[in-house]
């Protein structure tokens, strides 16, 4: 395989450079799409978790606090 590489590169360097540039651009594009979609998924998870935590906190605030009975000061 290493013997084939010099022939491929020497065949048309401008075409090879253009192909490599297009390849790198495509790779970067899909990488950016992946990073953004992962970030969006994380944000959705974060906001849903925060909403759930706020609901649980409100529910806990409405419940009877039995620990307060043990902390009474005389």
pLDDT, position 71: 78
Encode pLDDT of 37-62 as tens digits.
999 999 999 999 999 999 999 998 88
Q: Is the pLDDT of residue 12 over 60?
A: no
Q: Is the pTM of this model over 0.85?
A: no
Q: How many CB atoms lie within 10 A of CB 16?
A: 13
Residues 9-13, mean pLDDT to the nearest whole number:
59
pLDDT, position 69: 76
70's tokens: 């043990």
Mean pLDDT, all residues of the chain: 85
The answer to whether 8 and 16 have CB atoms below 8 angstroms apart is yes
């Amino acid at each position: 395989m290493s013997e084939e590489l010099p022939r491929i590169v020497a065949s048309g360097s401008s075409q090879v450079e253009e192909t490599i540039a297009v390849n790198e651009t495509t790779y970067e594009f899909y990488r950016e799409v992946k990073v953004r979609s992962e970030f969006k998924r994380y944000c959705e998870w974060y906001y849903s978790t925060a909403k759930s935590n706020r609901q649980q906190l409100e529910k806990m605030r409405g419940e009877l606090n039995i620990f307060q009975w043990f902390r009474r000061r005389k």
